[in-house]
Structure 1
Amino acid sequence: MSIWNDKVKRILKSELVKRGITTEELTNLLNEIGNSETKSSIDSKISRGTFSASFFMQCLYVIGCNKIEIEEYRSSYAVLDPQVLMVAEPGDEYNTTKDGK
């Protein structure tokens, strides 16, 4: 399993645990907004950690999660290039230096 799949799976699972929501309850909440998945398909997706960003956002929305702290999860994996985590806003430029130069 990719370390990124593992991280996103752990983020979703931890948000469910924080709110005391089971996957059966998550299934019902997702069905209320038109997602017609079964409990077993949702369990499989979460177990594998391979789901779309839209599924992830739907889950967060229906459980009432308005904010996640990415920093909490960042420290538990190694990133070889710190610029990988940097994203520029459209029209913004990031100037980076190597070796303090």
Structure 2
Amino acid sequence: MPSVTLATKKAPPKPEARKALPINAEYEEKAKALLRYAMAQKGVGIEELATRLNDMGVEISAGGLANKISRGGFSSSFLLQCMDALEVNLAALPR
């Protein structure tokens, strides 16, 4: 069996930051817009949503929530927690 020398071995590709990929940035914008739309439809502001999340056991300040929404890079579980706090019935959404 031939031996592999270090000179012929290729280094693995460097991982690209997830946020740097255009497709991820596009969907982060969509998630942010969806959450803001739901808040507007329910007439709930940042302070109220933060209070509702805290009541559910999700510890977050109003400032932290505003930053998280502004960045848009939150998890799907956080989005679902917000939708639950806003009393959005996701099961009723069209498929």
3-state SS of 2:73 partner: coil
- Displacement of 1:70 in angstroms is 7.8
Distance 1:28 1:5, change over 3 A: same
- Answer with 1 or 2: which has the greater Rg: 2
| 1:1-101 equivalences in 2 (<5 Å) | 2-67=25-90
Letter in 1 for 2:69: I
Q: What amino acid is aligned across from residue 16 of structure 1 in structure 2?
A: M
TM-score, with normalisation over the residues of structure 2? 0.69
Letter matched to residue 4 of structure 1: Y
Alpha-carbon distance between aligned partners in 2 of 1:60 and 1:22, rounded to the nearest angstrom: 13
Where structure 2 has 5 or more consecutive residues not aligned to the other structure, the ranges are 1-18, 20-24
TM-score by length of 1: 0.65
Q: How many residues are paired up?
A: 71
Per-residue Cα deviation, 1:41-99 (whole angstroms, up to 9, x for no partner): 1101100101011110000001100137588xxxxxxxxxxxxxxxxxxxxxxxxxxxx
C-alpha separation between the residues in 1 aligned to 2:52 and 2:36? 15
Runs ≥4 in structure 1, deviation > 4 angstroms? 68-71
